[in-house]
Amino acid sequence: MTEPQDVLYTVEDHVATITFNRPDKQNTISGPMLGALSDYLLKADADPDVRAIVITGSGKFFCAGLDLRGGGISSGLSNQRTSPANLDLRNTPPTVLHNIDTPTIAAINGGAAGYGMDLALGCDIRLIADTAKLAAAFTKRGVLPESGGTWILPRLIGWSKASEIIFTGRTLSPADCLEYGLVSRVVNSNELPGVAMALGREIAANAPMAVQGSKRMMRMGMNETFNDHVHHVFLQLLPLFQSDDFKEGMKAFLEKREPDFKGS
């Protein structure tokens, strides 16, 4: 079992916040913490009251990677010791993070290195504090980005820039991250929690099924032809047209007021 306070989970105004809470260990993730992170992500995604998820860290670090002494490195992508013949990654944090439909926001409050960088890249939206950094230190430690980075980074910034960052094990400043398009914006470190929560609330104010459906279609579209994708989008639209939220959205537009979506 992970320590109760190593990973914190709260819900406020339809926004769930998952916080790595080992500031004395630079928020490195132990093996049990990997399980807790997956559980909280799945819990938030299954909760109809949650419409956005913020992932952040306490203290001066977002997450400095896997805990080399706490079972994190032996777990990595997997929460259990297993052989390649029966490797099951379905409930590991990077896979869960990629597959859930609830929008995720990485509030990168401090250093995000290795596994921590991959987790941040796996979120839908990234905000970075002006005092933070991303460290692709994998090759400097004799490993590779094991948590989705080799899939995500080339898609975010192109093959050449991704190759340069990964092969050199480079550390990126907030300005670098913004220039490369890895983050939406750089935020004053003291203002980051409020900005992330405000963004979560802004997302939560919209029709949840429409937001989740949009994310699902964006994810599917990364591996589909255009013709296949537009057909899937049309099929996704059909049940939305029958929803109460669609009726409320149209009614609010005609009445020139803010809609009150219920997620149904």
Check residue 144 and give its pLDDT: 87
Least confident range from 139-148, 151-160, 210-219, 254-263: namely: 139-148
Beta bridge partners of 134: 112, 172
Predicted local distance difference test score (pLDDT) of residue 68 = 74
Once rounded to an integer, what is the mean pLDDT over residues 247-259? 93
Question: 79: which 2 tokens?
Answer: 């929460």
Q: Where are the domains of the chain?
A: 7-204, 208-254
- Look at the chain and count its residues: 264
- For residue 1, pLDDT over 70 is answered with no
Q: Is 144 exposed, middle or buried (0-12, 13-18, 19+ CB in 10 A)?
A: exposed
Q: Using an 8 Å Cβ cutoff, are 143 and 165 in contact?
A: no
How far is residue 184 CA from its own chain's centroid? 13
- pLDDT tens for 146-197 read 888 999 999 999 999 999 999 999 999 999 999 999 999 999 999 999 999 9
> Do β-strands 15-20 and 7-12 pair in parallel, antiparallel, or remain unpaired?
antiparallel
Looking at residue 24, its pLDDT comes to 93
* Residue-wise pLDDT tens digits, 56-97: 999 999 999 998 775 555 455 444 444 555 666 778 899 999
Q: Cβ neighbours of residue 83 under 8 Å, at least 6 residues apart?
A: none
Q: State the pLDDT at residue 86.
A: 60
Q: What DSSP character marks residue 66?
A: B
Helix (H) or strand (E) holding 148: none
pLDDT for the residue 70:
56
Name which of 126, 138, 211, 218 is nearest 171 in CA terms: 138
Measured distance CA(20)–CA(26) in Å, rounded? 9
At 73 the pLDDT is 52
Lookup result for tokens 């913020």: 54
- Largest Cα–Cα separation, the chain: 60
Averaged pLDDT of the chain: 91
Q: Which DSSP symbol is given to 44?
A: H
What percent of the chain stands above pLDDT 90? Answer: 81
Q: Average pLDDT, stretch 112-138?
A: 95
Q: Average pLDDT of 115-135?
A: 96
For the segment 216-224, the average pLDDT, to the nearest whole number, is: 92
7-204 is classed CATH 3.30.565.10: no
pLDDT at position 60, please?
94
First to last CA, the chain: 36
